[in-house]
């Protein structure tokens, strides 16, 4: 089975809950390569305790094709734009940015209770 390497950007209310549910999926072919969170949130602490690297957006982009999917759960249109622009500048046409809508769809498919509401609905 091929392993999908993911990154979670934003470990606030939504991202932390999503991240926690993704942790046990390692045995199912999903590896959390790293997380991005500027603040010292409970989600960031959990990630570090789980041995997941906390990096900056620039470090995430520098990882190139090592990350298959970036889950942007910040709710910030500025962060989404920054990710898109930096991926394009790095000529990375491989890594996909998954929005909050994709995270919500996955969440429902896993049969979990609803994710917390997102502050901003940034779209793609």
Residue 83, CB-side half-sphere exposure with 13 Å CA sphere: 27
d(CA 54, CA 28): 22
Strand order in the sheet with 53-54: 53-54, 30-36, 4-9, 69-72, 96-98
Residue-wise pLDDT tens digits, 70-106: 999 998 999 999 999 999 999 999 999 998 888 878 8
Tokens of 91: 């000529």
Residue-wise pLDDT tens digits, 53-68: 999 999 999 999 999 9
pTM: 0.87
Q: Parallel, antiparallel, or unpaired for β 30-36 and 69-72?
A: unpaired
Task: Give the lowest-confidence range in 10-24, 78-92, 110-124.
Answer: 110-124
**Residue among 49, 42, 100 at smallest CA distance from 32:** 49
Tokens of 32: 């959390």
């Amino acid at each position: 089975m091929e392993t999908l390497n993911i990154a979670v950007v934003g470990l606030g209310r939504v991202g932390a809950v999503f991240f926690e549910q993704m942790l046990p999926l390692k045995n199912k072919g999903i590896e959390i390569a790293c997380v991005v969170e500027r603040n010292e949130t409970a989600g960031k602490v959990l990630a570090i305790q789980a041995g997941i690297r906390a990096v900056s957006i620039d470090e995430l982009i520098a990882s190139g094709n090592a990350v298959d999917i970036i889950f942007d759960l910040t709710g910030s249109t500025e962060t989404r734009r920054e990710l898109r622009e930096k991926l394009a500048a790095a000529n990375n046409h491989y890594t996909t940015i998954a929005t909050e809508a994709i995270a919500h769809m996955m969440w429902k498919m896993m049969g979990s209770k609803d994710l917390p509401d997102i502050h901003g609905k940034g779209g793609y």
